[in-house]
Structure 1
Amino acid sequence: MSLAALPSGESSHARAVSIRYFNLYRIVVASAFAIFGGVFSFGQKAPEVFLVTLVAYWVMAFSFFLLHAGSPHYGERTLGLQTALDIIMLALFMYASGGFRSGMPFLMMTSIAGAGLVGQGRMVLGAASLATMAVLVDQLYRTLTGNEGQVDFSQAAIICVGFFAVAVVARMLSRRALANEALANSRGFDLARQMRVNARIIEDMQDGVVVLDAENSVRQMNPRASELLGVALQTGDRIVESLPDLASSILLESSPDSVQMVAERTGKTLSVRRVAIAEAGAAGDTLLFLEDMDRVQARAQQIKLAALGRLTANIAHEIRNPLSSVSHASELLLEEKRQGVQERLVRIIHDNAARIERIVRDVLELGQRDRLTSEPLDLAQFCRGFVDEFSIPNPRIAQLVQLELDEGARGCFDRLHLYQILANLIGNASRYCSGQDGSICLSVRVIDEHRVQIAVRDDGPGIPAEDRAKVFEPFFTSDPKGTGLGLFMARELAEANGAELSLQDAPGGAEFHLMARRTA
C-alpha cells in the first residue's frame, strides 16, 4: 500500500489531533510572550513592533485553533501557510528583541520540527529556507544600520545549518511514521477482513462453537451451539449457571478433553471437545466444540446404506456368472450320455457352487464387522499362535513365514477380527511368494506410545502399479478362483477396530501395514 493510498479515516483523525496540538502550542507561545515578555526583556529594541506582532500572533494562533477545530479537512497548503506565518512572526519578535541572541531561532526550530512531523510533503525544507533567510536578513540589516556589535555571521550560519538539520530529521521521522501508519492500516484492514471471514465461517458451521474466557464466561457462541444446547447465551453469561450439565461434564479439572453428554433442554446426544488456548503467563480462553451425534450417526448410516447398495450390486454381478455356468452345465448334463463329459459337467457345477458359497460366506462375515469385542492383546504372542494354528492344514506355511517381533508389544483388537485379517494377508502372500523358506515376513513393531504396527511382506512379483489403487475394492482379484472380497473385508474389519490397513511401496513383493492402537 502506498502512502498516497492510505485510507482517510483513522489516519486523518490522528493527523488532525497532531495539528490541533500544534495550534494549541502557538497559543501557549503567544500567551507566554504576553505574560513573560517583560520579565525576559523581549521587545526592548522595538517595543511598538513587539506589541503589534504579539497581538497579531495571538489572534492568528487563536484563529487557526478555532478554524481547525471546526473542520476535519486540513491541507498541506494551509499547514505551510501557518508555518510560514509562524516564522515571519518569530522573525519580527527576533528583530524587536535584538537579534538571534534573543533565542527566537530556537522557537523557529520548534515550528520547523512540528511542521516536518505533522506535514506529509517537502514543505518543511521550505520552512527551513524561510527561517534561514529571516536570520540572514536580520544580520544583514544590522550590518547595514551600523549595529556591528549585534552581528555574528558565524553563529548565524550555525543556526541556519541547525534549521536544515532539524528539517531533515523531522522529515525522516515523518516518513518513518507514515510508513508505520501505512503498515498498521494495512494489517488492521487484513485483520478485520479475516475476523469477518472467521465470524462467518463459525456462524455457518454444522458444529456448535462456544468460546469461554478464563472465568468460564461466554465470549462468543455461534447459532448452531444455541440450537444444540437449547439456550441462547449472551456475552458475559457464566456457563456454570446457565448450563450446569455442560460445565460438570467438560469444565472440571478432572474432566477429559472429550466427552459425550445428553443436552437437558434438547435431549440431543452431543460430543463435546474442549480445546484450551494457552497464553504466556496467564490462563487463556477455552473452546468448546459441540457435535450432534445423531447427525453423525445418520450420516454414517447413509454412507453404510450407499456402500451396501454398491456391494449388493457387485454381489449380484459376481453370482450371476457362476449361476449361469451352473444352469448351462445342468442343461447339458440332462442331454449328455457320455460318462467322461458328465463328470466334467458335474465338476463345473461343483466348482461354481463352491464359489457362490464362498461369496455368501464372506458377505455374512462382513456383516458381523460391527459385533466386536476389543481386548488388549500381546501381539507377539498372538502372531506366534496364529502361525501355528494357520499352518495346521498346510504345514508348509510355518516354513514360509519368518517372524520379527517386538516382545511385549500390546494392541487393542478383536481377537477373531485380527485372525481373519492376518489369515487373508498371509494367504495372499503364500500364493504369490517365491516359495522359499522365510519368503514371507510377519513383523510386529512399536511405532510410538500410541501406535503399534503389524506388517506382512512377501518376496513375490508385487502388485502392478495400475492395480494398487484397486486392491481394497470389493470383487477385485487377480486370482481366477478368488472372490475379491478378502482385502476389502480385511480393511473393513481393521476400521471397525479403529486400525488402518494400507498397502506400502516396497522395492520387491507386496507389503501391507496394519496400524493398531497400542495399549499398556
Structure 2
Amino acid sequence: MPNDLMNNISDHLTATRWRTLKLYNIYRLLITLLLLITQGLIVTSGWQHTLIAHLFIDTFSTLVSSYFIFSVIATIFTWQETPDIHLSVPLQIITDIVFIVLLMHAQEGGQGSIGLLLIIAIASASLISDGRLALFYAALASIGMLLAQTYRVWFFAGTAESYTPAVLLSLGCFATAWLAYSLAKRTKESELLASQRGLDVQNMAQINALITHEMQDGVLVVNPDFVIKHYNTQAEKLLGLEAKNWQGDVLNNVSPEINQLLQDWLDETKLTKAYAPSEVASPSFMPNFIKLSTQSRELRLRFLPIADNQKSVNPYSNNNYQGAVIFIEDWSQMQTQAHQVKLAALGRLTANIAHEIRNPLSAISHANQLLQEEEFNPASKRMLQIIADNVQRVDQIIKDVLELNRRDRTNQEPIVLENFILDFYTQFCAVEKIPATCFKLTLINAETTVSFDRRHLNQILWNLCKNGWRHCKKLENSLELSLNLTDKTKAIHIKIEDDGDGVPESIRNHLFEPFFTTEKSGTGLGLYIARELADANGAKLEFEAVDSAISSGSIFTVHINKV
C-alpha cells in the first residue's frame, strides 16, 4: 500500500478518534455536573443517611468534586488535542474507571446505579482505542470492583452474596468491550475501504484530467442545463477562453454557435433514437463544422451524451440524459496536415520528373549553343534563338517546381515584420532597379512578431511585388507595400497594391492555378507558388480587385496570425 494512502488513512482515523473523545468528554462533564448537583441536594436535604453509607459521606462528596474538576481539565486538554491521542485515551479512561469504582464503593458497595457508568466508559474506550486495550479496560474495571468488594467484606463483615452485583457488572463490562470492539473494528474497516476508494477516485480523476489536458482535441463537458463543468487547455485555445475561468458558466455565454448546435443535436437525436434503444450502444458523433465569430479557424464538433446506464438503455431519454461531452477539433489544422502529406508525396514525384527532364534539356541547350557559334542565315539564327528562349523558360519552370517541392520543409522562426519588410524593400528596389518614388512603403509603429519561414516569406513578397511592378503604370506611388494589424482577429495583413489595369473578372478565379498566365514569357507559377508557401506557413493569400470610378488595379493580401 502506498505511503500516501497509509498517511491519509492514519490522519483520518486520528481525526475520528479525537471527535469521538471530544463527545465523550462532553458526556462526562454533564454526568459529573449532574452528580455534583445531586450530591449537593442530598446533603442539604438530609437524605444522605438513606442513600449513601454513613462512613463514606465525606468521601463521596470529595470524589464527586474531584471527578468534576478532572472532567473540566480533561475537556480543555481534549479540545486542544493534547497530549497525543494514544496517550490521552488511556489516561482518561483509566482515571474514569478509578473514580467510578471509588464512587461505587462509597455508595453502599456498588448497590446503586453508578456502576452503569462503567459500561458507558468501557464502550467509549472500545470505540476509540484498539481491541486489546478495550479488554484491558474491562479487566481493570473488574479487578477494581472485586478488590473494592473484597475490602468491604473483609473490613465491614460483608457476605459472599454481595459479590454477585460486582461479578455481573464485570461480565457486562467484558461483553460490552467485546461487542463495542467488534462494531468499532467493522467501522474502521469500512472507513479504510472508503478511504481507499476515495483515493482511487482521486487518482482516476487526476489521470482523466491529465489525459484530457494532453489531448490534441478540445474537450468541453456540460450538464443537462448546458452549464460548463469542465474543459481542457486545448478547448481554451480553440475557443479563446483564456480571459477567465468559464467553469460553472452557461455554454451560451461562451459560444452561442456551439450552444445552438448542441441544442439542435439533442433535439434530433432524442427524436431519432427514442424508438430504437438497441441502436444507441455506440451513438454516432454526428460531426458538425462551424466557424466561430471570434476565431478565424474552422472547427469540427462532435457530441457524445453522458448517461446513467443503470437507469435506461437509451442515453437520450429525458430521465437518463446527464449532459454531453463536446469534442472540438481544429479542422483547418487537420486539413493543413493532410494537405502537407499529399504535397510531400507529390513533391517527390515532381522532383524525379524534373530531374529526368533536366538531363535532356541540358543536352539541348548545349547543342544549341554549339550551333549558334556557326555562321547561319538570319532565319536560322532566329530559330536558334527561339530554341534558347524556350529552353530557358523550361529551365525556369523546373526551378519553380523544385522550389515548390521544398515548401513542406518549413523552418519557421520568430520574425519582426517591420524590420524584415524594410530590409526586403531596400533589397527588392536595388535588384529590380525600381525608383523609390514609384514604390511606396507603409509600416506601423509597433513591433509585430510572426512565426514564419524567412526564406518563404521573402519568396512570397518577391513574387507579389514583382507581379505588381510588372502590371503597374510605373508612376509615383504606383506600387505600394503596406503592413496592417487587426486587433479583433489578432491577424497581421501585408498588402501589395498596384494601379494597373486590374484583372478581368472572367479570369479572376484562375489567378492561383498553376501554369495560368496572360504573358507569353510567364511560367504561370509565381502566384501559385506564393499561395502554396503561404499555406505551408499557416498564412493565407487573397486577391482583391480595385474597381472604382477614379482608380483600378489589384490588391494581394497575406494574412498572418500574430505570435
Which TM-score applies when normalising by structure 1?
Answer: 0.55
- How far does residue 310 in structure 1 lie from its aligned partner after superposition? 7.4
User: 1:162 — aligned with what?
Assistant: 172
Assess, with a 3 A threshold, how the Cα gap between structure 1 residues 17 and 314 changes in structure 2: closer, same or farther: farther
Mapped contact 2:18–2:85 kept (Cα < 8 A): no
User: 1:388 — aligned with what?
Assistant: none
User: 1:89 — aligned with what?
Assistant: 99
User: 1:213 — aligned with what?
Assistant: 223
Letter in 2 for 1:18: T
Q: Write the deviation string for residues 416-439 of structure 1: whole angstroms up to 9, x where unpaired.
A: xxxxxxxxxxxxxxxxxxxxxxxx
Assess, with a 3 A threshold, how the Cα gap between structure 1 residues 238 and 151 changes in structure 2: closer, same or farther: same
1:234 equivalent to 2:263? Answer no
Assess, with a 3 A threshold, how the Cα gap between structure 1 residues 270 and 72 changes in structure 2: closer, same or farther: farther
Deviation beyond 6 Å, 4+ runs, structure 1: 39-43, 309-316
User: 2:299 — aligned with what?
Assistant: 270
Letter in 1 for 2:331: M
In the alignment, the residues of structure 2 paired with residue 201 and residue 288 of structure 1 have an alpha-carbon distance, to the nearest angstrom, of 15
**Alignment match of 1:293 (pick from 328, 331, 355):** 331
User: Secondary structure at 2:322's aligned position in 1?
Assistant: coil
In the alignment, the residues of structure 2 paired with residue 184 and residue 275 of structure 1 have an alpha-carbon distance, to the nearest angstrom, of 31
User: Secondary structure at 1:286's aligned position in 2?
Assistant: strand
In the alignment, the residues of structure 1 paired with residue 74 and residue 353 of structure 2 have an alpha-carbon distance, to the nearest angstrom, of 92
User: Secondary structure at 1:261's aligned position in 2?
Assistant: strand
In the alignment, the residues of structure 1 paired with residue 326 and residue 23 of structure 2 have an alpha-carbon distance, to the nearest angstrom, of 48
Mapped contact 2:305–2:321 kept (Cα < 8 A): no
In the alignment, the residues of structure 2 paired with residue 15 and residue 36 of structure 1 have an alpha-carbon distance, to the nearest angstrom, of 31
In the alignment, the residues of structure 1 paired with residue 37 and residue 178 of structure 2 have an alpha-carbon distance, to the nearest angstrom, of 33
User: 1:31 — aligned with what?
Assistant: 33
Percent identity, aligned pairs only?
27
- How far does residue 158 in structure 1 lie from its aligned partner after superposition? 2.4
Q: How does 1:345-360 map to 2 (within 5 A)?
A: none
User: 2:267 — aligned with what?
Assistant: 254
Assess, with a 3 A threshold, how the Cα gap between structure 1 residues 61 and 231 changes in structure 2: closer, same or farther: same
Letter in 1 for 2:86: E
Mapped contact 2:105–2:149 kept (Cα < 8 A): no
User: 1:76 — aligned with what?
Assistant: 86
In the alignment, the residues of structure 1 paired with residue 153 and residue 68 of structure 2 have an alpha-carbon distance, to the nearest angstrom, of 31
Q: Which runs of 5+ in 1 are unaligned?
A: 320-520
Assess, with a 3 A threshold, how the Cα gap between structure 1 residues 34 and 259 changes in structure 2: closer, same or farther: same
Letter in 2 for 1:29: I
Q: How does 1:434-445 map to 2 (within 5 A)?
A: none
Q: How does 1:59-208 map to 2 (within 5 A)?
A: 59-71=69-81, 74-120=84-130, 122-146=132-156, 148=158, 151-208=161-218
Letter in 1 for 2:171: V
User: Secondary structure at 1:164's aligned position in 2?
Assistant: helix
User: Secondary structure at 1:231's aligned position in 2?
Assistant: coil
Mapped contact 1:90–1:108 kept (Cα < 8 A): yes
Assess, with a 3 A threshold, how the Cα gap between structure 1 residues 285 and 11 changes in structure 2: closer, same or farther: farther
Q: Write the deviation string for residues 445-482 of structure 1: whole angstroms up to 9, x where unpaired.
A: xxxxxxxxxxxxxxxxxxxxxxxxxxxxxxxxxxxxxx
Assess, with a 3 A threshold, how the Cα gap between structure 1 residues 165 and 211 changes in structure 2: closer, same or farther: same
In the alignment, the residues of structure 2 paired with residue 245 and residue 73 of structure 1 have an alpha-carbon distance, to the nearest angstrom, of 62
In the alignment, the residues of structure 2 paired with residue 222 and residue 103 of structure 1 have an alpha-carbon distance, to the nearest angstrom, of 66
Letter in 2 for 1:66: I
Q: Which runs of 5+ in 2 are unaligned?
A: 270-285, 312-318, 357-563
In the alignment, the residues of structure 1 paired with residue 106 and residue 162 of structure 2 have an alpha-carbon distance, to the nearest angstrom, of 17
Assess, with a 3 A threshold, how the Cα gap between structure 1 residues 73 and 145 changes in structure 2: closer, same or farther: closer
- How far does residue 299 in structure 1 lie from its aligned partner after superposition? 2.3
After TM superposition, the structure 1 stretch with the greater mean CA deviation from structure 2, 127-136 or 166-175, is: 166-175
Query: How much is the aligned-residue C-alpha RMSD, in angstroms?
Result: 3.2
Assess, with a 3 A threshold, how the Cα gap between structure 1 residues 314 and 16 changes in structure 2: closer, same or farther: farther
**Alignment match of 1:44 (pick from 35, 48, 52):** 52
- How far does residue 138 in structure 1 lie from its aligned partner after superposition? 2.6
Mapped contact 1:250–1:272 kept (Cα < 8 A): no
- How far does residue 254 in structure 1 lie from its aligned partner after superposition? 2.2
- How far does residue 187 in structure 1 lie from its aligned partner after superposition? 2.5
Mapped contact 2:300–2:331 kept (Cα < 8 A): yes
Mapped contact 1:76–1:121 kept (Cα < 8 A): no
Q: How does 1:392-471 map to 2 (within 5 A)?
A: none
Q: Write the deviation string for residues 93-146 of structure 1: whole angstroms up to 9, x where unpaired.
A: 111212333122221011111111111352111110111012212322232234
Assess, with a 3 A threshold, how the Cα gap between structure 1 residues 315 and 168 changes in structure 2: closer, same or farther: farther
Assess, with a 3 A threshold, how the Cα gap between structure 1 residues 32 and 306 changes in structure 2: closer, same or farther: farther
Q: Write the deviation string for residues 206-226 of structure 1: whole angstroms up to 9, x where unpaired.
A: 111111122111111222112
In the alignment, the residues of structure 1 paired with residue 151 and residue 119 of structure 2 have an alpha-carbon distance, to the nearest angstrom, of 22
User: 2:256 — aligned with what?
Assistant: 244
In the alignment, the residues of structure 1 paired with residue 2 and residue 298 of structure 2 have an alpha-carbon distance, to the nearest angstrom, of 54
Letter in 1 for 2:335: Q
Assess, with a 3 A threshold, how the Cα gap between structure 1 residues 314 and 125 changes in structure 2: closer, same or farther: farther
In the alignment, the residues of structure 2 paired with residue 52 and residue 76 of structure 1 have an alpha-carbon distance, to the nearest angstrom, of 29
User: 1:284 — aligned with what?
Assistant: 322
- How far does residue 248 in structure 1 lie from its aligned partner after superposition? 0.8
Assess, with a 3 A threshold, how the Cα gap between structure 1 residues 145 and 52 changes in structure 2: closer, same or farther: same
In the alignment, the residues of structure 1 paired with residue 353 and residue 116 of structure 2 have an alpha-carbon distance, to the nearest angstrom, of 98
- How far does residue 283 in structure 1 lie from its aligned partner after superposition? 4.4
- How far does residue 57 in structure 1 lie from its aligned partner after superposition? 0.8
User: Secondary structure at 1:99's aligned position in 2?
Assistant: helix
In the alignment, the residues of structure 1 paired with residue 199 and residue 133 of structure 2 have an alpha-carbon distance, to the nearest angstrom, of 30
Assess, with a 3 A threshold, how the Cα gap between structure 1 residues 179 and 306 changes in structure 2: closer, same or farther: farther
Assess, with a 3 A threshold, how the Cα gap between structure 1 residues 73 and 200 changes in structure 2: closer, same or farther: farther
User: Secondary structure at 2:198's aligned position in 1?
Assistant: helix
Q: Write the deviation string for residues 250-296 of structure 1: whole angstroms up to 9, x where unpaired.
A: 22332564322111110322111122211345641321111111122
- How far does residue 307 in structure 1 lie from its aligned partner after superposition? 5.0
In the alignment, the residues of structure 2 paired with residue 282 and residue 150 of structure 1 have an alpha-carbon distance, to the nearest angstrom, of 73
User: Secondary structure at 2:115's aligned position in 1?
Assistant: helix
